[in-house]
Amino acid sequence: SSSNILPNYTTILDLSGSEEEILMRMKSKTRYNIRLAYRKGVYVKEGTRADLPIFLKLYEETSLRNGIRFHDSQFFEALYLATENDAKFSLLIAYYNDAPTSSMFLTITDQRATYLYGASSSENRDSMSTYALQFEAIRRAKALGAIEYDMFGIGPKDDDSNPLSGLSKFKLGFGGECFSRMGCWDYPLKQEDANSFFAQELNWQKYHIG
């Protein structure tokens, strides 16, 4: 397929052991930034459905900053309506000087936690709130019984030209093992119609980045 719904590459953290052992599996710079965020006074709270506009504002800001298309509010509202789904999910928001600076959705299915969608402000980036946010998500996931944490999407290894390169370095700093997926495969029944659809998919490609 010319487009993938799920990322081809990801990194999955092992949540076994103590909190200190999990920290020691991270890169030293990541551990430093986590601790720096706490020293700066960053704190993380679980949001409710009423806090969704906070996430959406940060999400739109992130999308515009990185030049990617973004889902509308109805997409995220659907998460709260899917009451029959077995997956647990949480909206987490990190604050610096009492202002929301980063946010994410954490989902847990069976014993796997997943960092699903994330967003951050263009301001106060030196607060390192995204590091505290991820660490609190890891803590929460472990407390809820997860044994692994899927960072859900990185670029190809050692490819600095990939649009996900910066995000990949951030995620890889938390440790974990890299995995690759087969990606999406298409089996067209009508080749002419398929060619037209594939051309449109290429125009939509930015939708799948980030």
- pLDDT tens-digit map of 11-43: 899 999 999 999 999 999 999 999 999 999 999
pTM: 0.79
Predicted pLDDT at 95: 98
pLDDT at 89 over 50: yes
Q: Higher model confidence: residue 204 or residue 195?
A: 195
Q: What is the amino acid identity at position 12?
A: I
Other Cβ atoms closer than 10 A to 16: 11
Average pLDDT of the residues of the chain: 83
- Residue 131, Cβ density class (10 Å: 0-12 exposed, 13-18 middle, ≥19 buried): buried
Q: Higher model confidence: residue 161 or residue 89?
A: 89
Is 9-184 a CATH 3.40.630.30 domain? Answer: yes
Predicted pLDDT at 88: 84
| Antiparallel, parallel or unpaired: β 112-120 and 148-150 | parallel
From the list 23, 7, 3, 5, the residue with the least C-alpha distance to 15 is 23
Residue ranges covered by each domain of the chain: 9-184
Q: What's the average model confidence in pLDDT over 84-112?
A: 90
| Rounded Cα distance, 31 and 193, in Å | 51
Q: What's the average model confidence in pLDDT over 142-167?
A: 79
